[in-house]
Structure 1
Amino acid sequence: MGSMETPAEAAGGTVGKALHVLDMVAEKGRPVRFNDVLDGSPYPKATLYRLLQTLTTQGLLSYDEDRQTYAPGMRLVRLAHSAWRQSSLAPVARPFLDTLSSEVGETIHLAQIDRGQVLYVDKRNAAQPVEMFSQAGKIGPGYCTGVGKAMMAFLKPNEREQAVQNQSFYRHTEHTLTTSDALQAELGQIRVDGVAFDREEHEPGIICVAAPILSSNSRVIGALSITTTTQKYSLEGLDALRPVLLQTAQDIAQAAENWQFPSS
């Protein structure tokens, strides 16, 4: 364990460090003790303790004195609700997801992109849901998911380059793209086709077709996918759902114009 800072953490100063610690606690997915956070932390013990105390005082973390554990605080819950209403596509897209789910009978995902990673903001399960990684609120990789590739493909060139650089290229399955060159080539093809496919790249047996949700000035505001299994569909069969997928993505984009730019 050392005290080296990443450039982003250094640029963010104390606030950047505190947010990094907040991320470390949240990513554990359970209440954690001090030593749990200290393991893998880039900060000295005294610095980490001070940052945890500050976060707790500000209500961003809660501390259980009996168990001596830290967990995300209620202030975060309030902030999350506000962000969900103001920044998430989920509220405006909800009726369109319901309609699409009913029409195709498969799992629907709505996602947004954050520094090259996928944030799933809503999901509709099929009548017979299949267990899979994604769920609302979960973070997924961009390079091996349909929604991730659909969004990255339509980013501005400099933003796309940065998003590609942020990928881990871990091989999840034998179909996973594992180099930036392979990903860039596929993103180019997606820009031509208008849709992206997950060809069992993240989870064996899980495939999807995804479309970007673009604003009127072609800015990426999210992505939409129809997800199913290789037991039910081939990729060719899934491609037959392209028209209804693209229409729904366009409908969400049009509805989002007023949401993104309220009149008052």
Structure 2
Amino acid sequence: MNTETDSSPGLRLMELVDLLTRHAQPMALPEVVALTGWPKPTVHRMLAQLEQGGWLVREPDGRRYAMATRLLRMAEAALSNSAQQGVRHAVLRQLVAEVGESCNLTALSGAEVVYLDRVESAFPLRLELRPGMRVPAHCSASGKLFLAWMGARQRRTVLDGLVLTRYTANTLTLRESLEAELEAIRRDGHAVDAEEFVEGLVCVAVPVFAPGQRTVRCALALQAPAARMALAQARLQLPRLEAAAQALARTLG
């Protein structure tokens, strides 16, 4: 950013919020100053204003600023509202028509996955999850995908505060086991839910990257009853999921 700008103080704050959300990781004052090129006292004052307003929160080290729940909820609402209309929803509908099972678009909110959009299959046997609903990160394909693509420091912070609640016999409740799976997800490029959250339900998820970056903005997932589509069969749909994820990435701008 330029050190000189005609932006009003309110627009300056929005520009700062935009920068922090695009970098998707906690940042210290010197890092923000270096990225904006703005005077240190100005940046310090703006960060303090955003923290006081509940938009940012300090990390435990007291130095770095992270997105607070208020800012995360606003981002979720913006994504959800746009996802309900237009191109993104059309991509989901087309994907469901191709694979024959329910598909969804999700984002990470703290240690939970929030549904931004979802298209159900035509079958009567299905689990209906509406936009806005949340599921745990450690036992959902999308959640594990987000965890796997975090930076090491951010992932460690999230895992330190994560309660690995058991939902089924397949839920990963040992941190060592979860971390080993996260490494495999990063290597393989996709994640699965092998009946870990709901017994009898399987899921495969792929990342939706920010354009021109390797930052995961959303996750795209296929979800199906294991009785109708075994996990091995769901994995065969990965090429279709990845193609749809690329189409969705182009809509993020």
The interval holding the TM-score normalised by the smaller chain is 0.5 to 0.7
1:150 aligns with 2:150: no
Residues 149, 86 of structure 1: CA spacing in aligned structure 2 closer, same or farther, 3 A cutoff? closer
The residue type paired with residue 226 of structure 1 is L
- Whether contact under 8 Å (2:93, 2:119) holds in the other structure is yes
The Cα of 1:81 is off from its aligned counterpart by: 9.0
- 2:220 pairs with 1:213: no
Partner Cα distance (1:160, 1:129) in 2? 38
RMSD across aligned C-alpha pairs, in angstroms? 2.6
Q: Which residue of 2 aligns with 1:247?
A: 243
Distance 2:79 2:225 in 1: 34
Whole-angstrom CA distance in 1 between matches of 2:237 and 2:126: 22
The aligned length equals 184
How has the CA–CA distance of structure 1 residues 82 and 118 changed in structure 2, closer, same or farther, with 3 Å as cutoff? closer
- The equivalent residue for 1:234 is 230
Give the Å deviation of 1:130. Answer: 3.2
Q: Tell me which amino acid in the other structure corresponds to 1:95.
A: A
> In the TM superposition, what is the alpha-carbon distance from 1:116 to its structure 2 partner?
2.3
Unaligned runs of 5+ in 1: 1-11, 17-75, 259-264
Are the equivalent residues in 2 in contact too, given 1:107–1:124 (CA < 8 A)? yes
- 1:138 and 2:147 matched: no
**Local SS of the residue matching 2:118:** strand
The question of whether the paired residues in 2 share the 8 Å contact of 1:112 and 1:121 is answered with yes
Sort the Cα spacing of 1:121 and 1:154 in 2 relative to 1 into closer, same or farther, 3 A. same
Partner of 1:223 in structure 2? 219
In 2, Cα distance between equivalents of 1:167 and 1:113 = 14
Matched, 1:84 2:77: yes
Q: 1:95 aligns with which of 87, 90, 98?
A: 90
In the TM superposition, what is the alpha-carbon distance from 1:181 to its structure 2 partner?
1.6
SS at 2:204 equivalent: strand
CA contact (8 A) 1:107 1:129 kept: no
Shift of 1:159: 2.0
SS at the partner of 1:227?
strand
Separation in 1, partners of 2:124, 2:154: 35
Q: What residue number does 1:127 align with? A: 122
Q: Partner residue of 1:19? A: none
Compared with structure 1, are the counterparts of its residues 100 and 211 closer, same or farther at alpha carbon in structure 2 (3 Å cutoff)? same
- Alignment partners' CA distance in 2, 1:159 and 1:209: 24
Aligned residue type for 1:93: R
Does structure 1 conserve the Cα–Cα contact (< 8 Å) formed by 2:189 and 2:206? yes
2: CA distance between counterparts of 1:116 and 1:157?
15
Q: Take 2:148 and 2:139, find their aligned partners in 1: how far apart are those partners?
A: 13
**CA distance in 1: counterparts of 2:76 and 2:192, whole angstroms:** 29
Normalised by the length of structure 2, the TM-score is 0.66
Q: 1:11-50 counterparts in 2 under 5 A?
A: none
Cα pair 2:118 2:130 within 8 Å, conserved: yes
> How far is 1:83 from its partner?
6.0
Change in Cα spacing, 1:88 to 1:218, as seen in structure 2 (3 Å) is farther
Q: TM-score, normalised by structure 1?
A: 0.63
Identity of aligned residues (%): 29
Could you say what secondary structure the match of 1:226 adopts? strand
CA distance in structure 2 between the aligned counterparts of 1:240 and 1:184, rounded to whole angstroms:
25
Change (3 A) 1:149 1:99: same
